[in-house]
Structure 1
């Protein structure tokens, strides 16, 4: 088996009997309205990937993990002339990817349900599908030539990894996201010190997730992929050079892992786009001459930004007043349409203010309780959520050139909230498409309806807790305990305080934790009886126990 790194989360995996191209993101326009650009740049690989997919011989597959445009690149895919290959996509409840590829003109489209196995010569491809409400993602495994590659990309299936490995056997090469990909705290109006503190906690939490995944998978090699993008829009450019944010680079991760897992046999690899890895030897048989290092990173990004400056020349011109007026009216209509379909509106106890930068005295106030959108001259609520955008940026959403989530991921907005607490319904209202809002609400209700409980030991005490995380339903029996009192969700690393009835300060969710009398030892032994490394001495690695019969 050979693995060619295509940049970001993209790979081309070749076995004796098959080729699998995964998430090729190669367009020179980047993603999310050019807010994200590939880092390192990989546009030069487009002809090579086209040739791989167009060349007869081996059975050929194109795998697209989910709809985010740094994984699903329709502009590049449109340039492929010969399409006699098979497309693999996850079978989500919303069939957008299936419908798009049904029109693409390829050999066939296979929409895979969770754990679907597609046989290839000498092995198989298997997809793992994760869907909670409107949060859709998947990961892929390729087994062939007696070797195995598991690519999680962005898929948060950490609560399943132990079971997957038990069923599938040894993994040679593993890859999983290690960098942030969200607008919090990136777009929030925090004081500089608080921004750094929140960013550091999120970064370390992501690193810890990778470390725990490596403990479960125990691969021979880990490839650092799905890392940070380059932000070349002048309004976003400083993100590249912040001392602390949620976009660390691979050397930062490797330093963490070397301390966190000092005796791990896994090799840590940071390939450049175009590098080819022999899975048998774990040696690169071909490497790109262009290497990005900590020493040349700043100069590399500066040169990259100059080359791509033409993409942003028209972005920052102010629109005329009549255009701002029309955009404001359309935005108000769009927000009202969303509000009309938000069945859980009564749960949001604060208004949302939406401000166009060009009309600072004409704010839109979304009143969730009254279910109406009004125009007001100023913010008048002590407790509120606020969003400020430029008219032409939000117009891209109203014109359906971007969806709402893509717009949020463009980072071309400023947000604030008082109190500083995550509100899932309001968050969904902003990020979910109009047609998905009812499904979003149904997903929250479905998660809340799961009442199964489990038992966790922490700090020498036992507690009964809800088994499934109230955020997006992750299985907390695959979580862990920190500082002798906090249950940590394995999917998003939310922390629930067992000493406070299992409350989570992130959004006041709760596991309804109840202390239990001392119980006799039974059930499976704790995996984490070993001591944590010295620099993580506060972490109790005992897992949450599975439910008792």
Structure 2
């Protein structure tokens, strides 16, 4: 990305993010007023809702809304905005990207009895799914895309923290769990993606292209796909006995809005396009680019 790209910044109380990006060589910045739609030219509109409570981290967090005349997208990531009506007013949205899994190590990294970890972990899992569902219902987008989580533990000592068996006390449910949760609660609009998936939205329609016909294999057989055959010592002693590898969900046998390598929900011709991040964890934090007639904008 060219360092002359204009960077859209949230209305944070501190300039830490701007300073960090300037240190990387970026020179053009534009602060957007909190929650207010801004016309960027060429039919492109954007709004960034900033949050800065202690739970949102040292500099804050934000949700980004973008519309180009063919589609409207909300990338909430792991932000927890309170201005639900203000965000909804920017829509109606074609797609809503949001986190659904815990972003902290509570209670797994704490010295607690196994029973206490199970109780607190069960609450964290349940609360995270319920909170994400409330955001989904407040926004009312035509399509919902789980992203920005869960955490991925690759070390042997931590590997079993991953949601390999679908245990109800694991605070890190994966994308398929949230999709099934939404389906059970009357929300069939969820879209499951994997690294390399490309989504194209236009006027309420969605086209999904997966990188391979067997893109959902990692969800069907988590342990064998990851090449691990034993539980990690860091979590195994605190885990209740399970039935073995978790079977595939209904959403895996008929994934919503995307079967095999390609599925078209309509006949899109617009240009609103999102590509899932390629990284070891299978998910990535936001990096959204939007192109208009007057240049390229980036919000990260």
Distance 2:189 2:6 in 1: 32
Task: Return the match for 2:131 from 171, 184, 209.
Answer: 209
Deviations 1:76-129 (A, max 9, x none): xxxxxx423122222322211111222332351223341252514112121111
Q: Which has the larger radius of gyration?
A: 1
Deviations 1:124-154 (A, max 9, x none): 1211110125461011001013320001101
Is the contact between residue 65 and residue 90 of structure 2 (CA under 8 Å) also seen in structure 1? no
Task: Return the match for 1:103 from 23, 38, 43.
Answer: 23
SS in 1 for 2:40: strand
Distance 1:276 1:294 in 2: 18
Q: Is 1:222 equivalent to 2:144 in the alignment?
A: yes
Matching residue of 1:86: 6
Matching residue of 1:125: 46
Deviations 1:419-462 (A, max 9, x none): xxxxxxxxxxxxxxxxxxxxxxxxxxxxxxxxxxxxxxxxxxxx
Number of aligned positions between the proteins: 218
Is the contact between residue 222 and residue 267 of structure 1 (CA under 8 Å) also seen in structure 2? yes
SS in 1 for 2:135: helix
Structure 1 spans left out of the alignment, 5+ residues: 1-52, 54-81, 304-410, 412-549
Distance 1:283 1:132 in 2: 37
Matching residue of 1:149: 73
Matching residue of 1:306: none
What is the Cα-based RMSD across aligned positions, in Å?
2.2
Q: How far 1:221 sits from its partner (Å)? A: 0.3
Matching residue of 1:189: 111
> Relative to structure 1, is the Cα distance of residues 170 and 191 closer, same or farther in structure 2, using a 3 angstrom cutoff?
same
Distance 1:301 1:227 in 2: 17
Q: Is 1:162 equivalent to 2:82 in the alignment?
A: no
Deviations 1:274-310 (A, max 9, x none): 21112122121x321262443232123237xxxxxxx
SS in 1 for 2:60: strand
Is the contact between residue 98 and residue 111 of structure 1 (CA under 8 Å) also seen in structure 2? no
Distance 1:212 1:119 in 2: 30
Moved over 6 A (4+): none
Matching residue of 1:291: 215
Deviations 1:303-349 (A, max 9, x none): 7xxxxxxxxxxxxxxxxxxxxxxxxxxxxxxxxxxxxxxxxxxxxxx
Matches within 5 A, 1:400-439: none
SS in 1 for 2:85: helix
Deviations 1:208-249 (A, max 9, x none): 112111221111100010121321122322212463311101
Is the contact between residue 102 and residue 109 of structure 1 (CA under 8 Å) also seen in structure 2? no
Distance 2:92 2:149 in 1: 25
Structure 2 spans left out of the alignment, 5+ residues: 229-233, 235-300
Distance 1:233 1:170 in 2: 42
Task: Return the match for 1:270 from 168, 192, 201.
Answer: 192
> Relative to structure 1, is the Cα distance of residues 118 and 296 closer, same or farther in structure 2, using a 3 angstrom cutoff?
farther
Q: Which has the higher contact order (CA 8 A, sep 6+)?
A: 2
Is the contact between residue 43 and residue 69 of structure 2 (CA under 8 Å) also seen in structure 1? yes
Matching residue of 1:46: none
Distance 2:179 2:113 in 1: 29
TM-score, normalised relative to structure 1: 0.37
TM-score, normalised relative to structure 2: 0.66
Deviates more, 1:88-97 or 1:212-221: 88-97
